[in-house]
Structure 1
């Protein structure tokens, strides 16, 4: 499957000087919600934390995500299952996901959010609902979702009360009506194959941010046939989304956040060069917290896997204590240490992205552009709309 690794940054050209790393500034800040929101979300880095539910993740893991993101100057997202006090209490900027399942949907939590994301689809399972297996449905998880303890909980594949843009506009106005007086930030909504965001706490409905979620990722909350055979690679989604926003005259006015398979600062730089304003990470954040840590190698071996390949998070047996509800396993995970590791990972990702932007002569990471890229494979060239290395040719767009 073509990935960001199949794109190469060209670096500085003969017409543009690279920036000197210690003397010339390369900004990484991002503002989400510049169209309607009275209080846009201001981030220090172009990397956010994607929505992963409490239930799929443990309470300490959600706390660590909040702590780490706050230290790095970015935002977190609740995911299905509602808002935990651990995450709200340690996230300076928290996006509340409004999902089709409505699990954990709480108007009071809606008011406590810094943004609302109305999810239409998830890239790991577009058109299909997720599943949280009964072994992870503890008393607390069941209470938040208002469902029985120990019973498999399936998330709905679509919202029950709207079928198109007009219904969605009504839903946005309803959520805006619940917002607290004097507090205005951006609200999000989602669109298949991933989330779309719209502004919250303002006078007009409309999208402030689009979150585009590709097929990579997911906390194993669906069938293998969905994970492996449904959806599109993130690389193939970005340029059509940018083109759609450009056709509407909304590119850079409506921010585009890309999620799915982002693993390094190089991936961030390439996504921004293709037209994204920011990226969101999920699996990479879990690895940064300590998931798949080699110190638990013997236990991973007992589970029939290895410390560099474990992803059976749906089973609730995670030795690292991150994707489990087992109280004994959760004790192994230190949220403060996990937050420190996540902050360091986000800092490195940002520095890597800056390094590439500087090499391309850019004073802001948002100044990266498709012309700074070439493709290493025919598939990547066709999907990303970037010329094959050594040529000016994009498959399907004219002669060689």
Structure 2
């Protein structure tokens, strides 16, 4: 048995992980790229609790009393809105970052429960359109795969100005994932690393967003709702400017949002937590008199029906999931434990999505690996997961006496920590105190 010298201990500033990162940087001269999302401990929905009904509030009875979950998105300017059966959507993840089978599976799973999925960078694949009952087309700074005909065939358009894992930064797609098909869709050379730009080429300020929204409305004969996605950094101002530019809905992505590939230093040190971003965005909507008219879709770290319910209670109209959807498809499955270990990782820890060697066949363009994911079975798994999220949110809403999940409100919540109380602006549990509020 090895006995450690009790006089030896790590420095809080220079712990073993930090020392390894410095040594890796010194050895290679290359900054670290990875996927997955922020790993540091951040205030999140776990720091909030619901106040279930008892004497002062009247709960709904189990599954015998109805609790609605439907949501309408994008009716503000007369477009054909999205009618979703559940308030959980699938976030944009590109064909390129994901395999074609994974994109198809996402469409199948979302359609099975009556919700939407989103294209991501690089355009729309035929499989994705065919198997997505409701498909949102992402319009990104790169314009990779941008096709006016595909935009017209989508059910809504999402103008991406930022992503939670990297607000202010563009994405990456390394050469090993740029196959002939990916390259053809993006008009790129095969096998060459690609970095997406951080802003739209025709963007010099907020006024240009108004022009861009008008152009897209003209392109689609005013029939498609226009969503604007921002990475959480200045949510009050970004939401207000998006609304004034004409957005039908705002997608707000917190820093717990995942990514297929970007700098580790970006993931961990840029942006603000999802929990801290929601209330300022709701403030902007309320002050402009458009809360619930302009929908707020929150993403970044949504894992359970409790997370869904808490986001809705804080003022969101819906949530969007990315990382959790990939896990539901089979990402990081113990089934491939030996192969993850051979890559220097382990099931549940694999994060090198940029390498294109994913044993589960989800974040790869390798034909042999990609064939491992059955899109039908993957879609069924995702649909099961989405149903569970919805039932969990309904269970909480009924316990709070609500006949619809969108009737949840901040009064139904308390916080466990001072930080969460201040960010969510709900009382510290057992008190009436909200830090910073009289």
Aligned to 2:127: 86
Q: CA deviation at 1:184?
A: 2.1
Q: CA deviation at 1:228?
A: 0.8
**Alignment of 1:283 onto 2:323:** yes
- Determine which of 360, 370, 391 is the counterpart of 2:431: 391
Moved more, 249-258 or 8-17: 8-17
Aligned to 1:43: 84
Aligned to 2:278: 238
Asked if 1 retains the 8 angstrom alpha-carbon contact of 2:231 and 2:255, the reply is no
Cα RMSD of the aligned pairs, angstroms, is 1.7
Q: CA deviation at 1:164?
A: 2.4
Aligned to 2:389: 349
- What do the CA deviations read for 1:313-355 (whole angstroms, capped 9, x no partner)? 1111100000000001011110000000000000000000000
Q: CA deviation at 1:197?
A: 9.7
The separation in 2 between residues aligned to 1:148 and 1:337, in whole angstroms, is 33
Secondary structure of the corresponding residue to residue 188 of structure 1:
strand
The separation in 1 between residues aligned to 2:171 and 2:417, in whole angstroms, is 33
The separation in 2 between residues aligned to 1:177 and 1:22, in whole angstroms, is 46
Secondary structure of the corresponding residue to residue 314 of structure 1:
helix
Aligned to 1:219: 259
Asked if 2 retains the 8 angstrom alpha-carbon contact of 1:197 and 1:207, the reply is no
**Alignment of 1:138 onto 2:179:** yes
Aligned to 1:188: 227
Aligned to 1:161: 202
Asked if 2 retains the 8 angstrom alpha-carbon contact of 1:117 and 1:197, the reply is no
Asked if 1 retains the 8 angstrom alpha-carbon contact of 2:85 and 2:115, the reply is yes
Aligned to 1:119: 160
- What do the CA deviations read for 1:9-65 (whole angstroms, capped 9, x no partner)? 111143321101232100000000121133110000000000001100000000000
Q: CA deviation at 1:176?
A: 1.7
Secondary structure of the corresponding residue to residue 230 of structure 2:
coil
Q: CA deviation at 1:218?
A: 2.3
**Alignment of 1:69 onto 2:95:** no
- What do the CA deviations read for 1:87-145 (whole angstroms, capped 9, x no partner)? 11100100000001111111111111100111111111001111101110100111111
Larger radius of gyration: 2
Q: CA deviation at 1:170?
A: 1.3
Secondary structure of the corresponding residue to residue 137 of structure 2:
strand
Secondary structure of the corresponding residue to residue 57 of structure 2:
coil
Structure 1 runs not aligned, ≥5 long: 199-203
**Alignment of 1:298 onto 2:338:** yes
The separation in 1 between residues aligned to 2:229 and 2:308, in whole angstroms, is 21
Secondary structure of the corresponding residue to residue 347 of structure 2:
coil
Runs of 4+ aligned structure 1 residues displaced above 4 Å come to: 194-198
TM-score (norm 2): 0.87
Matches within 5 A, 1:300-379: 300-379=340-419
Secondary structure of the corresponding residue to residue 307 of structure 2:
helix
Aligned to 2:38: none
Aligned to 1:201: none
Asked if 2 retains the 8 angstrom alpha-carbon contact of 1:51 and 1:76, the reply is yes
Asked if 2 retains the 8 angstrom alpha-carbon contact of 1:189 and 1:210, the reply is yes
Asked if 1 retains the 8 angstrom alpha-carbon contact of 2:164 and 2:230, the reply is no
Secondary structure of the corresponding residue to residue 105 of structure 1:
coil
Aligned pair in 2 of structure 1 residues 210, 73: CA closer, same or farther (>3 Å)? same
Asked if 2 retains the 8 angstrom alpha-carbon contact of 1:76 and 1:94, the reply is yes
The separation in 2 between residues aligned to 1:91 and 1:197, in whole angstroms, is 28
How many residue pairs get aligned? The number is 391
Secondary structure of the corresponding residue to residue 94 of structure 1:
strand
- Determine which of 205, 215, 236 is the counterpart of 1:174: 215
Secondary structure of the corresponding residue to residue 16 of structure 1:
coil
Q: CA deviation at 1:186?
A: 1.2
The separation in 2 between residues aligned to 1:314 and 1:7, in whole angstroms, is 34
